Chains A and B, each alone.
Chain A
Amino acid sequence: MENELSRVVDALPGLVWTARPDGHIDFLNQRWCDYTGLGVDEAYGRGWQTAIHPEDLPELLERWQSILASGEPSETEARLRRFDGEYRWFLFRTCPLADASGAVVKWCGMNTDIEDRRRSEETQRAHWWLSSSAREHHFRSIGDDIPGLAALMTPAGQVEIANRQVLEYFGATLNELKGWAIADTVHLDDLPDVLAAWRGAVETGHPYDVEARLRRADGVYRWFHTHGFPLRDTVGRIVLWYLLQTDVDDRKRADALLAGEKQLLELVAEGHSMSEILEAICRLIENTATGCYCSVALYDPSRTRWEHGAAPSLPASYMRFCVGRPLNTDAGPCAMAACLNEQVIVTDLLTETRWAEWRPIALKHGLRSTWSTPISTAAGKVLGSFALYYSEPRTPTSLHQSLIKQFTHIARIAIERRLSDDTLSELRSELAHVARVKSLGVLTASIAHEVNQPLSGIITNASTCLEMLAADPPDVDGARETARRTIRDGNRAADVITRLRALFSKKETTLESMDLNEAAREVIALLRSELQRSRILLRTELADDLPRVTGDRVQLQQVIMNLLRNATDAMNDVDDRPRELVIRTERDEDDRVRLTVQDAGVGFDRQAAGRLFEAFYTTKNGGMGIGLSVSRSIIESHQGRLWAAPNDGPGARFSFSIPRASGGATDSGPGAPEGVTDTHGLGVIRMPVAAARRVMRNT
């Protein structure tokens, strides 16, 4: 019977063993020995432990002790080494055998090979261990150690389990959290991205990544990177989504700031207006430091009042109060920061006692704390103030301070650039003014000359008249004659004035058929003394058969004068060769007429040729650099072109070419009647016209 039982025990589909109440193994069946390859003698007592997987042994022993203590049937799992060294999972089941008094006299156990079952279970294991509350606890105890937010979500989007960090971050219990939707935690702007990623993942079953701002318990949004991956059951169905959320707020902010700074500098580089740039700075900081409002206030040029810089999010009524406030330390924190050139931190307006006038207005607009920082140049010159406001009491963090430092710097660049732009345009208008005054000087002198001549005659004649009448006997005939001449000279002066008035009221370009030679000769006549003074040898080579051109005579004369003056100036320092100036007119190809002014001066190098015509580009010490650019625009408005070329020898030549007048060519060569000039109606004051034109052009 003993033998029979032994055979039965050995035949059972499992490894069978018994143990004494203290856990000492006193029997192992043949299958056990066959499986492990251990002899009975080796395995008895504690020897069996050598066949347990080292990783599983501590837990198994612990469990074995608690089973022994409990006296209850129980089971556990562990890996058992086969004779060939391979470990396989076994289910260890054990039941106590009690005597009549109920005391355990023996433990009977059977180990069943569950390796295959376990393998198939691997995929649904997660669900399996999570389905029990013990496993949930297990997840929580592991999950709590994860440096991030970890949660399990149902495919419907409901939170199943979450680690401690999740509950703390959102400030909710697990039960509360289970009642929330995704939209309750994600920033509204990021919600579409999150939902799209989530729905895509649920649809495809693929892991997903998404970055979004999640709302913390205190209402602050922080950026998180969410990595989600599915947990499947045995048939491959997704039962849960494992979400791991890492706080990437600092990196994200750094990225955003860097991108923002780059964008701002681009705005600066692209020449956007100062107010656009300052506004962009405010918006960037408001987006970065959530919940704050920004403003930039500027010193106005008179430096006694505030000027509006930018404040995209502050109430307009508050800004209206601030702009134009006086600039002293009592006016408000911004004014104080600017006056002292140091940061002024107001953590709570309610406990503040300074700025009696400003404080109630700020409070009325819901502002509770403000930090003002001066915007100043490297040299310490204050340009304005940059302020951050919060609607609750606050002290700046190091993030705030670095933001303030970084962006007051960019604000400074923007303001300084505006100032330098202003300075430049001031300089330009000053230059234009100088040019105007200079031209006006020339103009007035010319007018004065033209008017003084007849006036001189009038006074002389009137004086003569008086002398003749005072003689004894009075020379009445002589007096009558001089009185007549007085009237004639008076009319001459009046004519000058009439022409001047006509000249100044004439603003539009007047196109007429005109003789370029004649126009050139008039300019030469006007410049003759100037040319003489500069010891210029002028050679005129005006073509006899030059076709007439259509153009504004005054404007074209202005160009010729400019070219002649430039040529003269270019030869100022020439002493080793004749200061020869050639003015030449000739027929050009394509029915055009060309005028060239050639000097023997310093010339220019070919690289500069393109720049000669830029406004404010000049090689002359006292030059304005306006003449050539204006000249070119005049010639271009005549459908012509103006260009420069270096001579083969010293000097340069400037030429323009304009179309000849359409319909017949009436040449008016050197012998043309003087009447041509007078029909134009400008007579003796022709050149002041050119000067006047130049004045108009330059303003």
Chain B
Amino acid sequence: MMVMRSLVSVVDDDESVRESLPDLLRAFGYAAQAFSSAEEFLASDCVCRTGCLILDVAMPSMSGPDLQRELTLRRKEIPIVFITAHQDESVRPRLLGQGAVECLFKPFSATALREALNAAFRVT
């Protein structure tokens, strides 16, 4: 059933996320790829193959929302699940309003992640 495993790309400048999240995603049954910056992701060959993007909001150079805008400009409409360590409640509705599937505050549970991914792949 999962012959073509959906690719989930993780873009986060935090190393512990890049280290841990892909393993969990794989355990969920997804293919996973981690990138340390938005630029790195854009430069990769994963953009077109990514079925869901798990994207950190605040990054030193190009931010999560910046990447989202860039993808829209490039007409690559990938479902996005934002993750952030800044627990600013006003961020979530704004991001959802701009088309994100979900916005998870770190630390988030495996269940919350799974639900977000389910929602993301339902959209597609």
- A contact set with B: CB distance below 8 Å: 445, 448-449, 452-461, 463-464, 466-468, 471, 475, 478, 482, 485, 489, 492, 525, 528-529, 532
CB–CB A485/B20 < 8 A: yes
B interface size (C-beta, 8 A): 25
CB–CB A456/B24 < 8 A: no
A471 to chain B, nearest CB (A): 7
Question: Which residues in A have their C-beta under 8 angstroms from that of B23?
Answer: 460-461, 464, 468, 478, 482
A536 to chain B, nearest CB (A): 15
CB–CB A457/B109 < 8 A: no
Roughly how many angstroms separate A467 CA and B25 CA in the complex, as a whole number?
10
Beyond A460-B24, A461-B20, is A448–B85 a contact (Cβ under 8 Å)? Answer: yes
Partner of B17, one of A456, A464, A532: A456
A-B pairs with lowest CB-CB distance, top 3: A467-B27, A463-B110, A457-B16
Beyond A448-B85, A453-B16, is A468–B109 a contact (Cβ under 8 Å)? Answer: no
Question: Which residues in B have their C-beta under 8 angstroms from that of A528?
Answer: 60
Beyond A457-B19, A468-B27, A492-B16, is A449–B60 a contact (Cβ under 8 Å)? Answer: no
List 8 additional contacts besides A459-B107, A466-B110; criterion CB under 8 Å.
Answer: A445-B88, A453-B85, A457-B16, A457-B19, A461-B23, A482-B23, A485-B16, A485-B19
Question: Which residues in B have their C-beta under 8 angstroms from that of A471?
Answer: 27
Question: Which residues in B have their C-beta under 8 angstroms from that of A525?
Answer: 60
CB–CB B20/A452 < 8 A: no
Roughly how many angstroms separate A471 CA and B28 CA in the complex, as a whole number?
10
B108 at the interface (CB under 8 A from A): yes
Partner of A452, one of B19, B24, B85, B110: B85
CB–CB A456/B28 < 8 A: no
B73 to chain A, nearest CB (A): 19
A533 to chain B, nearest CB (A): 10
Q: List 7 A-B contacts (CB under 8 A).
A: A448-B85, A448-B86, A457-B19, A459-B107, A463-B110, A464-B27, A471-B27
A548 to chain B, nearest CB (A): 27
Partner of B107, one of A456, A475, A478: A456
Roughly how many angstroms separate A452 CA and B14 CA in the complex, as a whole number?
11
Roughly how many angstroms separate A485 CA and B108 CA in the complex, as a whole number?
17
Encode contact with A along B29-58: 1 for CB under 8 Å, 0 otherwise.
000000000000000000000000000001
A527 to chain B, nearest CB (A): 12
CB–CB A453/B14 < 8 A: yes
CB–CB B110/A459 < 8 A: yes
CB–CB A460/B87 < 8 A: no
CB–CB A452/B106 < 8 A: yes
Beyond A455-B107, A456-B108, A458-B107, is A464–B16 a contact (Cβ under 8 Å)? Answer: no
Question: Which residues in B have their C-beta under 8 angstroms from that of A461?
Answer: 20, 23-24
Roughly how many angstroms separate A468 CA and B24 CA in the complex, as a whole number?
9
Roughly how many angstroms separate A459 CA and B85 CA in the complex, as a whole number?
13
B114 to chain A, nearest CB (A): 9
Q: Which residue of the partner chain B has the closest CB to A528?
A: B60
B21 at the interface (CB under 8 A from A): yes
Q: Which residue of the partner chain B has the closest CB to A463?
A: B110
A636 to chain B, nearest CB (A): 35
Question: Which residues in B have their C-beta under 8 angstroms from that of A452?
Answer: 85, 87, 105-107
CB–CB A464/B20 < 8 A: yes
Roughly how many angstroms separate A468 CA and B28 CA in the complex, as a whole number?
9
Beyond A460-B21, A467-B27, A482-B23, is A454–B16 a contact (Cβ under 8 Å)? Answer: yes
Within 8 A of A (CB), among B83-99: 83, 85-88
Q: Which residue of the partner chain A has the closest CB to B83?
A: A456
Encode contact with A along B7-27: 1 for CB under 8 Å, 0 otherwise.
000000010110111011001
Roughly how many angstroms separate A492 CA and B109 CA in the complex, as a whole number?
19
B10 to chain A, nearest CB (A): 10
Roughly how many angstroms separate A430 CA and B3 CA in the complex, as a whole number?
63
Partner of A453, one of B17, B60, B87, B108: B17
Among A445, A457, A485, residue most surrounded by chain B Cβ atoms (within 10 Å):
A457
Question: Which residues in B have their C-beta under 8 angstroms from that of A485?
Answer: 16, 19-20
B107 to chain A, nearest CB (A): 4
CB–CB B16/A448 < 8 A: no
B14 to chain A, nearest CB (A): 5
B67 to chain A, nearest CB (A): 14
Beyond A457-B19, A529-B58, is A467–B24 a contact (Cβ under 8 Å)? Answer: yes
Roughly how many angstroms separate A460 CA and B114 CA in the complex, as a whole number?
12
Question: Which residues in A have their C-beta under 8 angstroms from that of B88?
Answer: 445
Question: Which residues in A have their C-beta under 8 angstroms from that of B86?
Answer: 445, 448-449
Roughly how many angstroms separate A460 CA and B58 CA in the complex, as a whole number?
19
Question: Which residues in A have their C-beta under 8 angstroms from that of B21?
Answer: 460
B36 to chain A, nearest CB (A): 14
Q: Which residue of the partner chain B has the closest CB to A475?
A: B27
CB–CB A457/B17 < 8 A: yes
Partner of A456, one of B27, B58, B106: B106
A638 to chain B, nearest CB (A): 31
Question: Which residues in B have their C-beta under 8 angstroms from that of A453?
Answer: 14, 16-17, 85, 106
Among B16, B83, B87, residue most surrounded by chain A Cβ atoms (within 10 Å):
B16
Question: Which residues in A have their C-beta under 8 angstroms from that of B17?
Answer: 453, 456-457, 460
Beyond A468-B27, A529-B58, is A459–B16 a contact (Cβ under 8 Å)? Answer: no
CB–CB B87/A456 < 8 A: no
Roughly how many angstroms separate A658 CA and B51 CA in the complex, as a whole number?
56
Q: Which residue of the partner chain B has the closest CB to A532?
A: B63
Q: Which residue of the partner chain A has the closest CB to B58?
A: A529
Roughly how many angstroms separate A49 CA and B18 CA in the complex, as a whole number?
144
Roughly how many angstroms separate A466 CA and B108 CA in the complex, as a whole number?
15
Q: Which residue of the partner chain A has the closest CB to B114?
A: A463
Question: Which residues in B have their C-beta under 8 angstroms from that of A445?
Answer: 86-88
Q: Which residue of the partner chain A has the closest CB to B110?
A: A463
Question: Which residues in A have their C-beta under 8 angstroms from that of B105?
Answer: 452
CB–CB B14/A448 < 8 A: no
Roughly how many angstroms separate A492 CA and B20 CA in the complex, as a whole number?
14
Q: Which residue of the partner chain B has the closest CB to A450?
A: B85
Roughly how many angstroms separate A466 CA and B24 CA in the complex, as a whole number?
9
CB–CB A459/B108 < 8 A: yes
Beyond A471-B27, A485-B20, is A460–B85 a contact (Cβ under 8 Å)? Answer: no
CB–CB A463/B19 < 8 A: no
CB–CB A460/B60 < 8 A: no
Question: Which residues in A have their C-beta under 8 angstroms from that of B83?
Answer: 456
Partner of B87, one of A448, A459, A468, A529: A448
Question: Which residues in B have their C-beta under 8 angstroms from that of A482?
Answer: 20, 23
Roughly how many angstroms separate A460 CA and B20 CA in the complex, as a whole number?
6
Roughly how many angstroms separate A529 CA and B60 CA in the complex, as a whole number?
7
CB–CB A464/B108 < 8 A: no
Roughly how many angstroms separate A666 CA and B88 CA in the complex, as a whole number?
42
Partner of A463, one of B24, B60, B106: B24
A140 to chain B, nearest CB (A): 101
A480 to chain B, nearest CB (A): 12
CB–CB B107/A464 < 8 A: no
